[in-house]
Amino acid sequence: MTSTQHEFGDVQGIYLPIGLAVLAIVVAAFAFAVVRYRARPGRAPRPTRDRYAVEAAFATAIAAIVVVLLITTFRANADITDTARHPRPGFAVDVVAYRWGWQFTYPSLPGVVDRSGPDVPAVLHVPARTEVRFRLRTEDVVHAFWVPSVRYKADAWPDTMRTFDLSFPEGSAISGHCAQYCGLKHSDMVFTVAAMAPAEFRGWAAAARRRAADTARRRAG
Amino acid sequence: MGGRGAEARGRHGAEARRLSVAIPTPTRPLRGLAGYLVGTDHKSVGVRIFGTAFGFFLAGGVLALLMRSELARPGMQITSRDGYNQLFTMHGSTMIYFFVTPVALALGTYLVPLQVGAAEIAAPRVNLIGFWLFLLGGVIAWSSFLTRNGAGAAAWTAEYPQSDSIGTPGAGMDLWIVGVWLGVLGTLLLGACILATLVGRRAPGMTMLRLPVFCWAMLVTSLMVVTSFPALLTAMGGLLLDRHGVHVYRGAYGASAYQDLFWFYGHPVVYVMFFPFVGAALQVIAALSRRRLFGYKGVTLSLLAFAALSMSVWGHHMFTTGQVSNDYFSLTSTMLAVPAGMEYVAAVGTLIGGTLLLRTPMLFAIGFFVQFLLGGLSGIYVASPPLDYHVHDSYLVVAHFHYTLLAGSVFGLFAAVYFWWPKVTGYLLREGLGKLHFWIFVVGTNLTFLPQFFLGYDGMARRIADYTAADGWTTGNTISTVGSFVIALSIVVFAVNVVVSWLVQRPAGPDPWEGQTLEWATSSPPPRQNFDGPLPPIRSAEPLVDWREERARAEATAS
Query: Is 80 exceeded by the pLDDT of residue B28?
Result: no
Average pLDDT for B280-301: 96
Please count the other Cβ atoms lying within 10 Å of the Cβ belonging to residue A44. Answer: 10
For residue B192, what pLDDT is reported?
98
A63 and B CB contact within 8 Å: yes
Q: Is the pLDDT of residue B3 over 60?
A: no
Q: Chain-centre distance of CA B54, in angstroms?
A: 11
Longest dimension (CA), chain B: 82
**Which band of pLDDT confidence, cut at 50, 70 and 90, is reported for residue B32?**
confident
> Is pLDDT of B26 > 60?
no
DSSP assigned state of B520 = G
Which of A148, A183, A154, A186 is CA-nearest to residue A168? A148
Cα within 13 Å of Cα(B487), Cβ side: 24
Interface predicted TM-score (ipTM): 0.95
pLDDT given for residue B238 in this prediction: 96
Q: What is the pLDDT of residue A161?
A: 95
A146 touches chain B (CB under 8 A): yes
* pLDDT for A150: 96
Q: Quote the mean pLDDT of chain B.
A: 93
Q: Is the pLDDT of residue B27 over 70?
A: no
Does B365 score more than 60 pLDDT?
yes
Q: Do A55 and B295 touch (CB under 8 A)?
A: yes
Tell me how far apart the alpha carbons of residues B337 and B327 are, in angstroms, rounded to a whole number.
16
CB atoms within 10 A of CB A103: 16
**What band does B1 get if pLDDT is binned at 50, 70 and 90?**
very low
HSE-up (13 A, CA, CB side) for residue B176:
32
> Within A40-180, where are the H helices?
52-81
pLDDT reading at B450 higher than 70: yes
Task: Answer yes or no: is pLDDT of B23 > 80.
Answer: no
Give the residue-averaged pLDDT of A135-163: 96
- The stretch B322-327 carries a mean pLDDT of 93
> pLDDT value at position B29?
63
Strand stretches in chain A, DSSP E = 91-98, 101-105, 113-115, 122-127, 132-138, 143-147, 152-156, 162-166, 171-178, 190-196
User: Is the CB of residue B411 less than 8 Å from the CB of residue B371?
Assistant: yes
Segment A191-218 shows an average pLDDT of 94
Nearest-angstrom CA–CA distance, B192 and B200: 12
- Secondary structure, 3-state, A95-113: EEEECCEEEEECCCCCCCE
Residue B214 CA to residue B279 CA, distance in Å, equals 4
Residues B515-523 have a mean pLDDT of 96
**Best of B344, B384, B438 to mutate (most A CBs within 10 Å, chain A):** B384
Q: What digits encode the pLDDT tens for the residues B195-247? A: 999 999 999 999 999 999 999 999 999 999 999 999 999 999 999 999 999 99
Residue of B nearest to A42 (CA): B355
Do A77 and B327 count as a contact with CB atoms less than 8 A apart?
yes
Interface subset of A 110-139, CB within 8 angstroms of B: none
**A196 interface with B at CB cutoff 8 Å:** no
User: Given this model, what pLDDT does residue B35 score?
Assistant: 76
Percent helix / strand / coil, chain B, rounded to 5? 70, 0, 30
Give the model confidence (pLDDT) of B393-416 as tens digits: 999 999 999 999 998 899 999 999
Cβ(A156)–Cβ(A97) below 8 Å: yes
Average pLDDT of the residues in A50-79: 96
Chain B residue closest in CA terms to A144: B320
Contact, B451 vs B419, CB < 8 A?
no
Is A181–B162 a contact, with Cβ atoms under 8 angstroms apart? yes
